[in-house]
Structure 1
Amino acid sequence: MSHIDVYTGLYGLLASILVYWLGMRWNRSRRSFPPGPRGLPLIGNALHMPADREWVQFAEWAKTYGSIVHLSVFGRSIVLLSSPEVITDLLEKRGAIYSDRPILHFAGEMVGYNRFILLEPYSTRLREERKIILSNINPRRGAEIHQVQEAKVIQLLDKLLDTPDCFRDHLRWFVAAVVFQISHGHEVKDFEDRFVRLAEETTHDFSLAAQPGQHLVDSLPLLKRIPDWAPGTHFKDVARAGRLLLRRLRDEPYDHVKRQIARGTASPSITASVIESNPNPTPEEEDLQKSATCMLYATGADTTVSALGSFFLIMTLYPEVQRKAQAELDSVVEHGRLPTFDDRSKLPYLECVMKEIIRWNPVSPLALPHSLTQDDVYEGYHIPAGSTVIPNTWAILHDPSLYPHPFEVIPERYIDADDKLNPDPRTFAFGYGRRVCPGQFLADHSLFIVVATVLSTMNIGRAKRDDGTPIDIHVEYSGGAISHPNEFQCCITPRSQEVGRIVRHAAGSNLAETA
């Protein structure tokens, strides 16, 4: 036998021993992990990860393995949470160690979201950014925020009267107009506004960049080191384009307000207040200020647009819910005026409708993942530090033990609800623990004023063909970190000619006041 044959045999034996040892080590380490689908040595559950609508597959695993499920992908632990109890125990009660974000090599490091509130590690910088938002978006500032929302919703109604078929564009305009007015004092005339287009592109890019399991580099970070000229590195070009978009969203609206302040023409806004309170920031302080103010749109706009799209879809599919909500509005809102925030406490059924809009198809089916900073033991299961922890909001909101007939829209379910049956979906829809969405006040109140005023003034029904037969609607939602209803047609008409005149008059008065 030649020396080459001997060495080849030895190397083969050593390789076999190594693979066997790694496999045994992997199996031993799994014994203390939460249960989950059995994977393969080395790659773990990489082949099990769904390519789309991950929340549905994750919910199926929860039915088999329980409300806490463990996966391993190329040695990285992923823990799926699918019940309120487990989420409360870990993300709320143990928030001190469960509030970090996992390292997302694509969205975080390569695109740059690890310097922004959505994916930033739990740190002093993150707390400062949240403080900027929460000190300006809260019930104490409600009167100022409501004034903007009520003015913009009148313009929304006016647009719906003019071009009802473009309702999706009008909803996006409304959300952008509210957010940019509050965040930067910027008047959004139409959806072609340069800041709106920039923000739209960026939020769409984020939804794709942060989608769990969609980027191989997140599981194999060594791919970042492959030369740019090598085949299969298109993901690097995508990341560079996303990074440029993100940098522009951070800088351009902020610098615009800064120039307005210098000229003495700045409108009241969060950004103007932040700049004026610290006119000579260090580079690090200004970077933080830019990141916080630009994220006001990114953290709430796209999710609000999704919820409003679901509202129009539900009203089209469930006319009896619409009629009942309209009857309540008619009994509360005096003839000749539009609903305001002062009416909200007198509209319990409408509040139930809003809860069902949020629950039926949640805007973020999977909450942004958490990560823990140290090893933990829960119910006897070992959860290693650095694990990616993914709360499955969709699974909770479609659990029949919590919400009977979960795929049906039933606002009445909340009338006699308690914490154990039909709990308020808003408890789950805005994130968890110390990473709960800081813009939830703005999103919730934007949803209310649109739902109330549209139902008070408009009828939403099925679109019809030329022969008068209704056009079928297939309920489908997009994938991604933020899920939107796919395109559908509906018919939007004023409830009466008088309602149309009220809207036109209010819109004209609103324009005169802002001129």
Structure 2
Amino acid sequence: MSLDLTFGAGLLLSCAIAILASKFATKRSRYPLPPGPYGLPLLGNALQMPTSHEWLTFAAWGKAFGGVIHVSIFGRPIIILNSRKAISDLLEAKSGIYSDRPVLPMAGELVGYDASLPLIRYGARHREYRKLMYSGLALQKIEEIHPIQEQKIRDFLQSLLESPNQFQTHIRRTVASIVFQISHGYSVTKDDDPLVQLAERATHEFSLASAPGSFFVDLLPILKYIPDWFPGATFKKTAKAWRQTMVQLRDEPYKSVKDQVLRGVALPSFTASLVERNAQPTEEEEDIYKWTSTAFYSGGADTTVSAISTFFLAMVLNPEAQRKAQDELGKVLGRGRLPTFGDRDRLPYIEALIKEIYRWNPVAPLALPHRLTQDDVYDGFFLPEGAIVFANTWGIFHDPDIYPSHADFIPERFLSPENSDVNPDPRPFAFGYGRRVCPGKHLADASLFMLVASTLSMFKISPAKDKNEMPIIPVPNYQPGVISHPADFKCCITPRYSEAELFMQLGK
């Protein structure tokens, strides 16, 4: 039999088995599946699944079908949660059966992130990852890191003074310098640092590889078995290239720190502590150490870069919010000093502005998928074992019943006494859910606060101007991917004070 026929027969057989399994799962419960868009025989909703900006389509389906939606792809059930209550009731309250990850053929098996903290299946290894991560990122540990964050952000402000047009490059370097100092004792001193470039490439490739619907192999896993030379198998060549990036980021920084520890010259860092506590690790233990140290950057840096970029965009588009934040900073700090973490409790408008940054355009608009490990019933609907479960964070943050005037950037919504039903703090939904919540959330939140408060204390952010001195108003345009960044935009960043006062603030 020719390869074409063999592949075609396997494809049809796979589809038939999947459909029969799906029908059996539905029949074994007296409860109906949740509503959703109608699909086609065998294919289900495969042709309706978006390949980009999935959260927008899922939110539109939520308006049509409700907060809990069912679709299927070749018989595989998918549950989409557009309801804040459903996310809490299922991913939080029932986290024991909703904390697994589905197998993602592209990002997991082919590129190789199936052993990483974001995609590892729920079990003993996942628990070990999280135990190690929390040992370095617990809230009390973050307070010990504050001096590093404050110094790195002072360096960021100096860079803005010297080359404000390169603010996006400065953002990426600053976040990387904070994370790599903590994780590997590595000092980032220039914008084109090779380790930063490697890490950015890896996180970008992971974001593309794990985005739902971006690769057909995720919808039809049998495709992973076709040979590399087969027509249409370009995704396998892409996976091989991305796998090389992953291996390089996982192995090389860890090896560098390990060598430094052996020579007695390692600076204090999370990775150094892992090596020092276990001088003779097994192969599996060392693999866990590599992935855990890598997770510091891949799990938090890219999201922080996205949030900071959103801050600059929001300030360009909302000068009144910027003015109010700067008025508050002036009253609390006076002139001549930068904010510290000790000022945070006295800056309620800055705090509200940060909450609105998280809400307005969430860095992870669609949380990484969960997998249901046993049959469940919720709100009168049957949720079958093995279902892939997506939580649409963007849909929650843009639900007008929860956040009125949801399209507008309004920090004031968080200044009123908190109402559990209207304008709640978005942070419990911004960093993932249940036992898959991001362990680096405290580090990311602290970095965002310090950079926002420090930048606004020293600079005014306004629209860039064209050759006729007319303002160029950027359009909020967010790129696809698991981590969504605003598309490149220009702005004008100018000092608020005289040179002498600026240098006094920077401690020169």
What is the TM-score when the length of structure 1 is the normalising length?
Answer: 0.92
Alignment gaps of 5+ in structure 1: 1-14, 509-515
Provide runs of 4+ in structure 1 moved above 2 Å. 21-31, 498-503
Q: Which has the larger radius of gyration?
A: 1
The amino acid of 2:207's aligned partner reads: S
**For residues 250-329 of structure 1, what are the structure 2 equivalents within 5 Å?**
250-329=250-329
Corresponding position of 2:85? 85
Instruction: Give yes or no for contact 2:21–2:75 (8 Å, CA) kept in 1.
Output: no
Corresponding position of 1:385? 385
Corresponding position of 1:447? 448
TM-superposed deviation, 1:191: 2.4
The amino acid of 1:430's aligned partner reads: F
TM-superposed deviation, 1:24: 11
Corresponding position of 2:486? 485
TM-superposed deviation, 1:466: 2.6
TM-superposed deviation, 1:144: 2.3
Corresponding position of 1:10? none
| Aligned equivalents of 1:458, 1:50: Cα separation in 2 | 40
**CA gap 1:22/1:432 in 2 versus in 1, 3 angstroms:** closer
Identity among equivalent positions (%) equals: 52
Corresponding position of 2:231? 231
Cα deviation code 1:336-383 (max 9, x no counterpart): 211110000000010000000110000011001100111111122111
Q: Give 3-state SS (helix, strand or coil) of 2:299's partner.
A: helix
| Aligned equivalents of 2:38, 2:504: Cα separation in 1 | 63
1:191 aligns with 2:230: no
What is the TM-score when the length of structure 2 is the normalising length?
Answer: 0.93
The amino acid of 1:500's aligned partner reads: L
Instruction: Give yes or no for contact 1:457–1:499 (8 Å, CA) kept in 2.
Output: no
1:501 aligns with 2:503: yes
| Aligned equivalents of 1:243, 1:138: Cα separation in 2 | 31
Cα deviation code 1:11-35 (max 9, x no counterpart): xxxx9xx99x969948965972110
The amino acid of 2:72's aligned partner reads: S
Corresponding position of 1:242? 242
Q: Give 3-state SS (helix, strand or coil) of 1:229's partner.
A: coil
The answer to which of 56-65 and 134-143 deviates more is: 134-143
Corresponding position of 1:364? 364
1:203 aligns with 2:203: yes
Corresponding position of 2:137? 137
Instruction: Give yes or no for contact 1:150–1:449 (8 Å, CA) kept in 2.
Output: yes
Instruction: Give yes or no for contact 1:22–1:41 (8 Å, CA) kept in 2.
Output: no
| Aligned equivalents of 1:76, 1:234: Cα separation in 2 | 25
The amino acid of 2:364's aligned partner reads: S
Instruction: Give yes or no for contact 1:160–1:167 (8 Å, CA) kept in 2.
Output: yes
Corresponding position of 2:423? 422
1:39 aligns with 2:18: no
Instruction: Give yes or no for contact 1:104–1:218 (8 Å, CA) kept in 2.
Output: yes
**CA gap 1:335/1:27 in 2 versus in 1, 3 angstroms:** closer
The answer to which of 412-421 and 152-161 deviates more is: 412-421
The answer to which of 262-271 and 202-211 deviates more is: 262-271
Q: Give 3-state SS (helix, strand or coil) of 1:192's partner.
A: coil
| Aligned equivalents of 1:311, 1:154: Cα separation in 2 | 18
Instruction: Give yes or no for contact 2:112–2:246 (8 Å, CA) kept in 1.
Output: yes
Corresponding position of 1:68? 68
The amino acid of 1:434's aligned partner reads: R
Instruction: Give yes or no for contact 1:161–1:500 (8 Å, CA) kept in 2.
Output: no
Cα deviation code 1:216-261 (max 9, x no counterpart): 1112111111122211111111111111111111110001111111
The amino acid of 1:76's aligned partner reads: R
The answer to which of 62-71 and 491-500 deviates more is: 491-500
Q: Give 3-state SS (helix, strand or coil) of 1:382's partner.
A: strand
**CA gap 1:111/1:27 in 2 versus in 1, 3 angstroms:** closer
The amino acid of 2:391's aligned partner reads: P
Q: Give 3-state SS (helix, strand or coil) of 1:136's partner.
A: helix
Cα deviation code 1:440-471 (max 9, x no counterpart): 00100000000000000000001112322111
Q: Give 3-state SS (helix, strand or coil) of 1:227's partner.
A: coil
Q: CA RMSD in A?
A: 1.8
**CA gap 1:382/1:492 in 2 versus in 1, 3 angstroms:** same
Corresponding position of 1:405? 405
**For residues 35-184 of structure 1, what are the structure 2 equivalents within 5 Å?**
35-184=35-184
The amino acid of 2:91's aligned partner reads: L
| Aligned equivalents of 1:454, 1:228: Cα separation in 2 | 49
**CA gap 1:225/1:406 in 2 versus in 1, 3 angstroms:** same
The amino acid of 2:468's aligned partner reads: D
| Aligned equivalents of 2:20, 2:262: Cα separation in 1 | 63
The amino acid of 2:81's aligned partner reads: L
**CA gap 1:25/1:436 in 2 versus in 1, 3 angstroms:** closer
The amino acid of 1:343's aligned partner reads: D
Corresponding position of 1:353? 353
1:476 aligns with 2:481: no
The amino acid of 1:248's aligned partner reads: Q
Q: Give 3-state SS (helix, strand or coil) of 1:312's partner.
A: helix
| Aligned equivalents of 1:476, 1:269: Cα separation in 2 | 37
| Aligned equivalents of 1:143, 1:405: Cα separation in 2 | 36
Instruction: Give yes or no for contact 2:22–2:77 (8 Å, CA) kept in 1.
Output: no
| Aligned equivalents of 2:412, 2:501: Cα separation in 1 | 28
Q: Give 3-state SS (helix, strand or coil) of 2:136's partner.
A: coil
Alignment gaps of 5+ in structure 2: 1-12
Q: Give 3-state SS (helix, strand or coil) of 1:463's partner.
A: strand
| Aligned equivalents of 2:391, 2:23: Cα separation in 1 | 28
Instruction: Give yes or no for contact 2:26–2:33 (8 Å, CA) kept in 1.
Output: no
Instruction: Give yes or no for contact 1:26–1:41 (8 Å, CA) kept in 2.
Output: no
Instruction: Give yes or no for contact 1:369–1:391 (8 Å, CA) kept in 2.
Output: yes
